[in-house]
Amino acid sequence: MASHIDFDERYKTGNTPWEINRPDLSLIDFVKETPVPPCRAIDIGCGTGNNVLWLAQQNFQATGYDLSPLAIKSARKKAAVARVNCSFVNTDFLLDEIADNSFDFAFDRGCFHHILDHDRRLAFAQKVGRILSRDGIWLSLIGNTDETRQGPGPPRLSASQISTAVEPYFQIISIKSHHFDFDHEGIPAMNWVCQMKKRSIQQ
Ligand SMILES: C[S@@+](CC[C@H](N)C(=O)[O-])C[C@H]1O[C@@H](n2cnc3c(N)ncnc32)[C@H](O)[C@@H]1O
């Protein structure tokens, strides 16, 4: 399922306001505070790979998926320059045949929220659940409908839109109103920091 946004065009023209060229602090905090031991990790919609590189540097076996060839090219270049051992796959996460139980930790920063249709969000959550091992964890950073900022920004979901999509497959450990890590001037976009654990029995 291709996105409604031409992400490759966004990377080509540099119209990538989400780009911070470093890992998101919410990921760092989560991995260090929870703590999540190094394991097989997937970053879904990894963009130019900032979070994949950081996970690999923390000894995770890290793989990034992104449908934009330009983003993946840039991610591979960053990994080569930094001499970081990680993998990137240029494909649509929803269409790629990923084996069950391939990962123990899933992360996405601004990918899940691009799915505007409830049934597709359910399919996304189901797939994340399927590729995770027993008790696998998903940390998702999602645009927040409580945003009061005017102007362009990420897509926004309500807590109930998130929970109705993920709860058949995941137990929500916590969902906190926060903001995307941000390097530009102005007010950062609000988000949800949603921590989930795979259900052993689907609801
Ligand atoms: C808002 S950007 C965030 C990129 C990156 N996570 C970051 O924080 O810099 C969303 C990314 O998700 C990717 N994406 C959207 N839908 C996808 C899908 N179905 N499969 C793989 N990647 C997808 C886009 O190409 C884009 O790079």
In short, whether 111's Cβ falls inside 6 Å of ligand 1 is: yes
Residue 167: inside a domain: yes
Residue 11: inside a domain: no
What H or E segment, with its residue span, contains residue 137? Answer: strand 132-143
Domain carrying residue 178: 25-198
Is pTM beyond 0.75 here? yes
d(CA 3, CA 155): 13
Residue 4: inside a domain: no
In short, whether 6's Cβ falls inside 6 Å of ligand 1 is: no
The angle subtended at Cα 140 by Cα 156 and Cα 73, nearest 5°, is: 95
Residue 108: inside a domain: yes
Closest residue (by CA) to atom 27 of ligand 1? 47
Residue 191: inside a domain: yes
Distance of CA 111 from the midpoint of ligand 1 (Å) = 5
Atom of ligand 1 nearest to the CA of 48: 9
Q: How many CB atoms lie within 10 A of CB 190?
A: 20
In 3-state terms, what secondary structure has residue 98?
A: coil
Atom of ligand 1 nearest to the CA of 109: 6
pLDDT at 79: 98
Q: What is the pLDDT of residues 1-36, one digit of tens each?
A: 445 689 999 999 999 999 999 999 999 999 999 989
Residue 1: inside a domain: no
Distance of CA 21 from the midpoint of ligand 1 (Å) = 14
Count structural domains, the chain. Answer: 1
Q: Are 140 and 51 in contact (CB under 8 A)?
A: no
| Mean residue pLDDT across the chain | 94
In short, whether 27's Cβ falls inside 6 Å of ligand 1 is: no
Residue 82: inside a domain: yes
Find the CATH number of the domain harbouring 72: 3.40.50.150
DSSP code, position 143: E
pLDDT at 69: 97
Residue 111: inside a domain: yes
- Tens-of-pLDDT digits for all 203 residues of the chain? 445 689 999 999 999 999 999 999 999 999 999 989 999 999 999 999 999 999 999 999 999 999 999 999 999 999 999 999 999 999 999 999 999 999 999 999 999 999 999 999 999 999 999 999 999 999 999 999 998 877 788 999 999 999 999 999 999 999 999 999 987 777 889 999 999 999 987 66
